[in-house]
Amino acid sequence: MDLRGKTLLITGASRGIGLAIGRKAAADGANVVIAAKTTDPNPKLPGTIYTAAEEIRAAGGQALPLAVDIRDEEAVLAAVAKAVETFGGIDVLVNNASAISLTDTEHTPMKRYDLMNGINARGTYLCTQACLPELKKSARAGRRPQVLTMSPPLSMKQHWFAPHTAYTMAKYGMSMCTLGHSGEFAKYGIAVNSLWPRTAIATAALQMIPGVDLDLCRKPDILADAAYFILTADEPASGNFYIDDEVLAAHGVSDLERYSVKPGTKRFIPDFFVD
């Protein structure tokens, strides 16, 4: 199975992992809805919804760039309506948009707490809820709809919480959506899974964290390739918390050198939440 003719709504797809997944799907001829906030160029955060659309089209897909703050219910519902108007439905939702602040409780203002939980946990829930009617239609049409969320396996260990309780709560909120919705949506024939990297990924957001050496990271393409295998499975599984290199290994991909930011790197920065 491939993604030709399918419509993917990807949040946070103006750059990084979301854009990489969009490009990979576009190579099959998929329709990609780019739901993100960036409309004007920013020297610190390269990429807008419009430059992303250009890349999607260049890769062979159809693109619909939409300015969406996923904390805004009306904006999300309008984006879903526009996607349906343009492409006729939605087959795949990729919950990729996320906010990060690796700060302890003393140094996490409530404004930052609200931002992370509003985008990560609430935004994932809202986008899934808004897309659900279209995903159900896709299931009835035999198109094997899926929700794929960029969030980690749930590990209730103190060391994943103590350094940045607010961020962990927000990120695990996304994973709890996967856990709950995979069970809730099984009766509709909608697969719901999470995907997470084993190593740090070189994204614009990571570049803004002091002290991170991007040469010790992998490229977003590793997640795009893993996501592609998940989304094109003949019989999609549900309720899984996939790790990128394990997905690739299951499909015969053991040489990960091409994903290294710096060729020849053997020791990578491990990502959070992987025991």
Tell me: the pLDDT tens digits for 96-141? Answer: 999 999 999 999 999 999 999 999 999 999 999 999 999 999 999 9
Q: What are 144-193's pLDDT values in tens digits?
A: 999 999 999 999 999 999 999 999 999 999 999 999 999 999 999 999 99
State the CATH number of the domain containing residue 199: 3.40.50.720
Whether residue 265 is contained in a domain is answered as no
Comparing C-alpha atoms, which of 207, 270, 173 is closest to residue 165? 173
Sign of CA dihedral 195, 198, 203, 209: positive
Residue with token string 């140094």: 107
Q: What is the mean pLDDT of residues 53-82?
A: 98
User: Is 259 a known active-site residue?
Assistant: no
- pLDDT over threshold 80, residue 243: yes
Whether residue 238 is contained in a domain is answered as yes
Cβ atoms of residues 151 and 196 within 8 Å: yes
- pLDDT over threshold 90, residue 1: no
> What is the DSSP code (8-state) at residue 153?
P
Residues contacting 149, CB < 8 A, separation 6+: 94, 95, 96, 124, 174, 175, 177, 178, 192, 193, 194, 195
- pLDDT over threshold 90, residue 208: no
- pLDDT over threshold 80, residue 207: no
Side chain identity at 252, as an amino acid letter?
G
Q: Which domain holds residue 188?
A: 7-259
Q: What are 6-30's pLDDT values in tens digits?
A: 999 999 999 999 999 999 999 999 9
Residue with token string 């909120």: 173
Catalytic option among 50, 113, 125, 167: 167
Whether residue 267 is contained in a domain is answered as no
Q: What are 245-266's pLDDT values in tens digits?
A: 999 999 999 999 999 999 999 9
Whether residue 201 is contained in a domain is answered as yes
HEC sequence for 194-257: EEECCECECCHHHHCCCCCCHHHCECCHHHHHHHHHHHCCCCCCCCCEEEHHHHHHHCCCCCCH
Whether residue 271 is contained in a domain is answered as no
How many domains, the chain?
Answer: 1
What does each C-alpha distance from 186 to 7, 191, 230, 236 come to in angstroms? 21, 7, 17, 11
pLDDT at residue 197, as a whole number: 98
pLDDT at residue 44, as a whole number: 80
What does each C-alpha distance from 68 to 27, 50, 75, 83, 228 come to in angstroms? 24, 13, 6, 12, 24
Whether residue 71 is contained in a domain is answered as yes
pLDDT at residue 39, as a whole number: 95
Whether residue 249 is contained in a domain is answered as yes
- pLDDT over threshold 90, residue 42: no
d(CA 175, CA 150): 8
Q: What are 209-242's pLDDT values in tens digits?
A: 777 898 999 999 999 999 999 999 999 999 999 9
Cβ neighbours of 75 (radius 10 Å): 18
Q: Is 263 exposed, middle or buried (0-12, 13-18, 19+ CB in 10 A)?
A: exposed
Give me the phi and psi of 146, to 5 degrees please: -145, 155
Residue with token string 């990807």: 10
Comparing C-alpha atoms, which of 89, 188, 177 is closest to residue 127? 177
pLDDT at residue 210, as a whole number: 77
pTM above 0.95, yes or no: yes
Residue 220, both tokens: 């977003």
pLDDT at residue 269, as a whole number: 94
Whether residue 26 is contained in a domain is answered as yes
